[in-house]
Amino acid sequence: MDTVIIGNGILALTIAFRLSRAAGEKDTISIIGKRERTGSATLAAGAMLNSFAEIEADSLDNELDLYRFELSHLATKMWPKFEQELITAAGSCLPSGCRNCQGFQGGGCVDCGTYIVNNTAADDLDDENFDAILNALREFNEPHELISPRDIPNYLPDQRYRATRALYIFNEGWFNPRLMIEKLEAILANSPQVNFINTNVAKLLKENETVSAVELEDGSAIAGENFILAAGAAVSDLVNNSALGIDIQRIFYGVGVSVEIRSPDFPHKKCIRTPNRGLACGIYSVPYITADCNDHILLGASNFISPTPYPYGRITSVESLLKAGMEQINRNFYRADLVRVNVGWRPTSQDTYPMIGRTSIQNLIIVSATKRDGFHMSPLISEYVVAMLNGQPVDKRFDVFAPERSPIRPLTREQAINKAVRHQTSAAYQHGFSPSKSRMPEQVGKMFRDELERLHDQVGAYDWGIPPEMLDMYRYGHAKP
Ligand SMILES: Cc1cc2nc3c(=O)[nH]c(=O)nc-3n(C[C@H](O)[C@H](O)[C@H](O)COP(=O)(O)OP(=O)(O)OC[C@H]3O[C@@H](n4cnc5c(N)ncnc54)[C@H](O)[C@@H]3O)c2cc1C
């Protein structure tokens, strides 16, 4: 079987890895994508393996979101074995940064242990989300401990922003994603069936109701039998350029900035993060480890949704992350070194759910829209996609993420507006909103609500709600009502 994979992020490479394990002598796997990976979400990711830490007050309220959580929890459990498979497959070709690696036992680019801090830097949405995390940890019997914030190593926030509560989740960890990509590339380069093509795809070519080839940017074509479109946030643009006759909802560019710093006096050993807040994931710091260095830290992450690729990190995103890192994690970061600013595009669908599965073109699978947890989900997604490719059964419930579905709309208008008011208020506080001592918070809340009601009327959203992250895309006509 000749398989063509379009894209070279974590999903493309983990799918290629699983395929290559079972490949026969005559099989070929082509992985197409520029090595520089402009806008790659994977390279910008904190690469946290969070399920519980991502829970919000309404995260487990409907069957679909519960299923999504079940998958996320399953992915957490798959990682140790998957990582061991990668290390074994790499053998002597492990990159030098991985040379002390013992997988989840330590010494490599992965470790476990996440502190969640409940501080007062934003508003009480943080408290609600912290409670939701704690309740879920208890309900699902997940190992955790409520601890004093003062016992968190290297947690030295500004007095005004100190946490009043904290908890420790034992099994939620993180990777250094750059090292993971290096490792996967080294493994795949050793496989005789795999061929890396260092350029981008311009379009997919269709003949007789199947995809016959892809056209590269230089005009040449690569033919194949099966095609996996895993080009992250660029998937919609590629489908639109290709006249395939399929209709998928738009995937937007969730532009996220993360900042790598070097802090030799305050090296971190564990991840420290807030709950999700203000339409994003709050502030976090993760140790950015390799065998050669243990004093780099990644601060993340910002988010805004754009209809087009956005190459640069906005000054405000960098400023907010550095300020939040110093105020809410460790005030001594003021004398850390600035190593790198990453900009990655989280592939985010209009309904904000993943888009993974076969299309009505029988030999085309799309794998995208993993938004904020594609790194974490990659062992599971790669397993399911390879099963789809081989015609093996996959959990029927997974069909809900089929690429040509209509947008999923689990929120009522009222729920969506309430949620958006909460998140917009939280974002305002996070960015310095300081109301006068009058009815101002209520007045601002009412202003948000009135505008949201008008927007829902304007797009005809009477019996459904706009996902809060997508407000601007509806406001400016980029999302189809
Ligand atoms: C700041 C930030 C923090 C994040 N934190 C986390 C986290 O803690 N945990 C987590 O699980 N997830 C996190 N994510 C999300 C995660 O990074 C993504 O869900 C995941 O990386 C998506 O993987 P991908 O392979 O689909 O996309 P990408 O990594 O974006 O890869 C797509 C690749 O396709 C290539 N490409 C684009 N166009 C073409 C073309 N025309 N032809 C060929 N190739 C093309 C691109 O260059 C790119 O390399 C974060 C994302 C960001 C931006």
Residues 104 and 243 in one domain: no
Concatenated DSSP letters of 81-95: HHHHHHHHHHGGG--
Is the preceding peptide bond at 324 cis, omega within 30 degrees of 0? no
Residues 215 and 321 in one domain: no
Mutate to test the pocket of ligand 1, among 346, 367, 368, 371 (most ligand atoms within 8 A of CB): 346
Residues 187 and 315 in one domain: no
Assign 12 to helix, strand or coil: helix
Q: What are the b/e assignments for 126-150, b being 16+ CB within 10 Å? A: bbbbbebbbebbeeeebebeeeebe
Residues 445 and 471 in one domain: yes
Residue 369 CA to ligand 1 centre (angstroms): 9
- 283 within domain boundaries: yes
- How big is the CA angle at 438 (ends 434 and 441), to the nearest 5 degrees? 55
Residues 203 and 239 in one domain: yes
Residues 9 and 131 in one domain: no
Q: How many domains, the chain? A: 3
Q: Where do the H-state alpha helices sit in 260-373?
A: 315-324
- 121 within domain boundaries: yes
The CATH number of the domain holding residue 389 is 3.50.50.60
- 151 within domain boundaries: yes
Of the candidates 302, 321, 346, which is a domain's last residue? Answer: 346
Residue 151 CA to ligand 1 centre (angstroms): 35
Say how many C-beta atoms besides its own lie within 10 A of residue 66's C-beta.
12
Residues 197 and 243 in one domain: yes
Residue 161 CA to ligand 1 centre (angstroms): 32
Residues 269 and 336 in one domain: yes
- 89 within domain boundaries: no
Residue 205: closest CA among 190, 189, 224, 192: 224
Residues 274 and 150 in one domain: yes
In which domain, by residue range, is 270 found?
Answer: 99-176+252-346
Q: How far apart are CA 320 and CA 305, in angstroms?
A: 17
Q: Is the pTM of this model over 0.85?
A: yes
Ligand 1: residues with CB < 6 A are 6-12, 32-34, 37-38, 40-42, 44-48, 200-201, 230-232, 234, 238, 256, 258, 300-301, 344-347, 368, 370-376
Relative to the CA of 303, which ligand 1 atom is closest?
1
Residues 220 and 186 in one domain: yes
Q: How far apart are CA 386 and CA 476, in angstroms?
A: 38
Residue 246 CA to ligand 1 centre (angstroms): 23
- 456 within domain boundaries: yes
Residues 259 and 387 in one domain: no
- 304 within domain boundaries: yes
In a structure prediction context, what are the per-residue pLDDT tens digits for the chain, which is 481 residues long? 999 999 999 999 999 999 999 899 999 999 999 999 999 999 999 999 999 999 999 899 999 999 999 999 999 999 999 999 999 999 888 888 887 777 777 667 788 999 999 999 999 999 999 999 999 999 999 999 999 999 999 999 999 999 999 999 999 999 999 999 999 999 999 999 999 999 999 999 999 999 999 999 999 999 999 999 999 999 999 999 999 999 999 999 999 999 999 999 888 889 999 999 988 779 999 998 877 778 999 999 999 999 999 999 999 999 999 999 999 999 999 999 999 999 999 999 999 999 999 999 999 999 999 999 999 999 999 999 999 999 999 999 999 999 999 999 999 999 999 999 999 999 999 988 999 988 999 999 999 999 999 999 999 999 999 999 999 999 999 999 8
Of the candidates 346, 363, 389, which is a domain's last residue? Answer: 346
Looking only at the bridges linking them, the beta strands covering 2-6 and 226-229 are: parallel
- 57 within domain boundaries: no
The CATH number of the domain holding residue 259 is 3.30.9.10
Residue 236 CA to ligand 1 centre (angstroms): 14
Q: How far apart are CA 42 and CA 301, in angstroms?
A: 13
Q: How far apart are CA 210 and CA 359, in angstroms?
A: 11
CB 201 within 8 A of CB 210: no
- 88 within domain boundaries: no
Of the candidates 346, 363, 385, which is a domain's last residue? Answer: 346
